[in-house]
């Protein structure tokens, strides 16, 4: 190999290492930010279960809670930047593929694109909140009702809302089943964990993932009901979905269990930030 070829090869390895380092940092920051949001939402839902807060148990409520803490503005900007990191990592998976033997398949790239778009939206909402300070874009419940009403007004809107609701139900079931089957093991560096740490991660991953999937599925059911009844008010955001658990025969205890699961998912996100293969 001549000197020029060796130089090009060296530069390629350096660029690849740099890109890998930046991507890994962005992903780990994103998982940390996601963990903070789920911890706060779960904590707010626990307070609601026992009648202790008037805040919304959704992303807006979590941001308001964070804003009232010492150095709240700094924390909000850090959270938004972390979510930008998550979006950029997902974008890198679209472009370069993700880890795993089928990481470059069209299906995985499409899933990464959908996740990238989702985190772009979440990051934008968090950074907008940080910039405006204490001015959120409304509760998740009102946003869900408004969006449902707009879609219902267009041709075939009832079918679109129903299809979206079924898709959310399916996504919730998929999330819960994969958590219970511990599919996340394929993405973790398990060899770096002690047996005790692995057991703790499994508790947070299974219980947290199941709770998260259940919340998604129930929100999807409400969307389907809104489509069938042609009533936008039947659609519910995260806060109303969580509160609906308290209206079951099990009362606030079911909400408390789901809220605890969301807190555990927040902790699991921190574990992903530490041990996730990127």
Euclidean distance between CA atoms 57 and 49, whole angstroms: 11
- Report yes or no: 140 and 237 within 8 Å, Cβ to Cβ: yes
Task: Please give the pLDDT value at position 15.
Answer: 47
Task: Please give the pLDDT value at position 3.
Answer: 54
Task: Please give the pLDDT value at position 10.
Answer: 47
Residues 6+ apart with CB under 8 A from 36: 62, 66, 79, 82, 266
Backbone φ, ψ for residue 276 (5° rounding): -65, 135
Concatenated DSSP letters of 61-130: HHHHHHHTSTTHHHHHHHHHHHHHHHHHHHHHHHHH--SSTTTTSHHHHHHHHHHHHHHHHHHHHHHHHH
Task: Please give the pLDDT value at position 106.
Answer: 86
Task: Please give the pLDDT value at position 65.
Answer: 84
10-residue stretch averages of pLDDT, the chain, 278 residues long: 51 48 88 94 90 75 84 89 93 82 82 92 90 64 82 88 94 96 93 94 97 95 91 85 87 92 96 92
Count of CB atoms within 10 A of residue 190's CB? 13
Task: Please give the pLDDT value at position 23.
Answer: 85
């Amino acid at each position: 190999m001549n000197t020029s070829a060796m130089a090009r090869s060296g530069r390629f390895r350096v660029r690849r290492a740099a890109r890998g380092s930046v991507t890994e940092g962005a992903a780990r920051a994103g998982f940390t930010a996601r963990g903070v949001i789920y911890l706060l939402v779960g904590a707010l839902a626990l307070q609601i279960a026992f009648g202790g807060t008037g805040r919304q148990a959704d992303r807006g409520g979590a941001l308001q809670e964070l804003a009232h803490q010492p150095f709240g503005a700094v924390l909000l900007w850090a959270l938004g930047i972390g979510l930008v990191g998550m979006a950029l990592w997902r974008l890198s998976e679209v472009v370069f593929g993700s880890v795993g033997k089928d990481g470059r398949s069209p299906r995985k790239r499409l899933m990464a694109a959908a996740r990238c778009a989702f985190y772009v939206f979440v990051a934008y909402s968090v950074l907008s909140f940080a910039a405006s300070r204490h001015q959120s874009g409304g509760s998740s419940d009102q946003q869900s009702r408004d969006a449902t009403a707009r879609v219902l007004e267009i041709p075939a809107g009832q079918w679109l809302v129903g299809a979206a609701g079924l898709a959310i139900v399916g996504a919730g079931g998929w999330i819960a089943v994969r958590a219970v089957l511990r599919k996340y093991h394929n993405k973790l560096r398990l060899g770096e964990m002690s047996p005790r740490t692995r057991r703790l991660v499994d508790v947070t991953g299974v219980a947290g993932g199941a709770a998260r999937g259940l919340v998604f599925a129930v929100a999807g059911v409400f969307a389907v009901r809104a489509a069938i009844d042609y009533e936008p008010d039947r659609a519910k955001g995260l806060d109303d979905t969580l509160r609906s658990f308290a209206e079951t025969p099990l009362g606030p205890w079911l909400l408390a269990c789901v809220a605890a699961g969301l807190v555990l998912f927040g902790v699991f996100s921190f574990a992903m930030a530490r041990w996730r293969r990127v």
